[in-house]
Amino acid sequence: MAHAPAPAPDKPLVVLTQRTIWLIFGALMASMFLSSLDQTIVSTAMPTIVGELDGVAHQGWVVTAYILAVAIGMPLYGKFGDLYGRRWPFLVAIGLFTVASAGAGMADSMLTLVAWRAVQGLGGGGLMILSQSIIADIVPASERGKYMGPLGALFGVSAVLGPLLGGWLTEGPGWRWAFWINIPVGLAAFAIAWFALRLPSHRSSRPVDWAGIVSMAVATTGIVLITSWESLADGGYDWTDGRLLGLVALTVAAVGAFVLAENRAAEPLIPLRLFKNRTFTITTLIGLVLGMGLFSAMAMLPTFLQMSTGAGVTESGWLMLPMMVGVMLTSIVSGFAVAKSGRYKAYPIAGLAIVAVGMVWLTTLAGDTSMWVFGAMIFTLGAGMGLVMQVVVLAVQNAVDPSELGTATSANNFFREVGASVGVALFTTIFTSRLTDNLGQVFAGAPDVGAGAEARLTPAMVAALPEPLHSGVVDAYADALAPSFWYLVPLVLVGFVLALFLPVIKLSDVAGMVARGEAIEDPAKVAARQEAVGERAAERSEVPVGTAGAAVGHHDAAPTDIVER
């Protein structure tokens, strides 16, 4: 395995006291909140932005540019953080995100907005990956769950707050403030990180894997563009289109070039030998299928809510609250439970089973489904999601060399992001195809509505339709969406089966920086642990002779001392 360069002897080692850990954790929370809040605020303001900038035809690029930049940036931040330290890449990520927010708020055309959203994605991808990696640097795997749980719950908080704030800003000061609000938050996050994020930096003599970076970027761009072609190209998927065929050929060639480059590189961007690690491979595949399945469902549910209830974007965001409550509840509870018990395998198994139940339940969705039942459906999805997302990251970090924490974390997230892109595109295509057929039948019996009315529907228009046309449109959306979930159930079940084979390795009690010789553990914590060991030894020495063998045997078989397979 590759090894991180040793810190320079003249640099003092970081002492990981509890105060230091909480300060760094606070900086990570502020930065993650910045990134996750932006995504939900902007999605709320997007219809207004598109209308003002006259960019309906290019709306898909605003989302695609951000997703693409996040996906490409993840492996770069992961590798560079391992090679050079994570402090400066983290500050760069905050800076990029904040500057891009200012630029996006001043955009006077869709082209300019798309460009700034891409820069925002480069910053957002770094904040996501480096936050997870830094937690692994400063907190042992045996205690990491209680920190990663709140990080996961932060996404739930932002998902609830974002639509409300985005709606208020759009209807009040204007949509540009949906971006400009990030500036004070970004400056505060940068200041906190500057003073609190005291992490070592170092130099690496190994050459940068430029061939791997370029081929990865080209391959990722191709995959995202191909899966988003339906929304980007005027004619949709036309397999006689030379542009589409050329893009497919270029993507296949780039994937092949990437594999060759990684086999030859001295310091590969994503070392292919990681896939020989069973934990890494299984957790990465779980992330891939979960991204394809779960994120696809999440992408279409708000649209159904708006059309079926007549709710605006802000209100539909609130109606998704049960899912976020489920995520927050189970991610925090499972995080603390893993930290207390040292066991993690049961949580992704249970989580994926719960997600599968939620998916099957959603296949019963109908136009007259009550909001209470719908809330229970999406709460089930969220509860399952919260049991999986953070635990699989913990598992992969615990299974790799401390010098490759960032690389393994970023690779795991990268494949989940690619899976989400592919899954959302395919699911949207299936849903749109069924919806077009259903709406065509509904409006065929209403010639007075006007030709092509189904293509111009908005939630307000649907709410204003007379009966039975209104019920027909709502049923058309439900009938198009509900059966589509059957396509996602097998993906989730594949993840469930994979989780059954997830190796269980004893959680390390050494933080990443300590293992690499870049920090020392809190002396008070070391003393407390030694005292506890001494007390246990004293208790064993007092056991009567007749039961000593049993006591020793029990200690040898303690769950925390076993590596399960």
Judged against a pLDDT cut of 60, whether residue 542 lies above it is answered with yes
Neighbours of 48 (CB within 10 A): 18
Q: Name the strand (E) or helix (H) holding 416.
A: helix 405-444
Judged against a pLDDT cut of 50, whether residue 560 lies above it is answered with no
Question: What is the arithmetic mean of pLDDT over 305-334?
Answer: 77
pLDDT band at 12 (very low <50, low <70, confident <90, very high): low
Report the residue count for the chain. Answer: 565
User: How far is 162 from 183, CA to CA, in rounded Å?
Assistant: 16
Q: Each residue of 73-115: pLDDT tens digit?
A: 999 999 999 988 899 999 999 999 999 999 999 998 888 998 9
pLDDT band at 328 (very low <50, low <70, confident <90, very high): confident
**CB 166 within 8 Å of CB 312:** no
Paired residues of 564 in beta bridges: 504
- Tell me the pLDDT of the chain averaged across its residues: 82
Question: What is the arithmetic mean of pLDDT over 464-488?
Answer: 80
Number of helices (H), then strands (E), in the chain: 22, 2
What's the pLDDT at 90? 94
The closest of 326, 2, 4 to 156, measured between CA atoms, is: 326
What's the pLDDT at 126? 92
Q: Each residue of 206-249: pLDDT tens digit?
A: 888 999 999 999 999 998 888 877 766 666 677 777 888 999 99
Torsion over CA: 275, 279, 283, 285 (sign): positive
Q: Each residue of 161-188: pLDDT tens digit?
A: 777 787 788 778 888 988 898 899 889 8
Phi/psi at 274 (nearest 5 deg)? -60, -30
Structure tokens at 477: 């959306």
SS3 annotation, 156-176? HHHHHHHHHHHHHHHHCCCCC
Judged against a pLDDT cut of 80, whether residue 1 lies above it is answered with no
pLDDT band at 376 (very low <50, low <70, confident <90, very high): very high
Q: Which amino acid is at 159?
A: A
**CB 173 within 8 Å of CB 48:** no
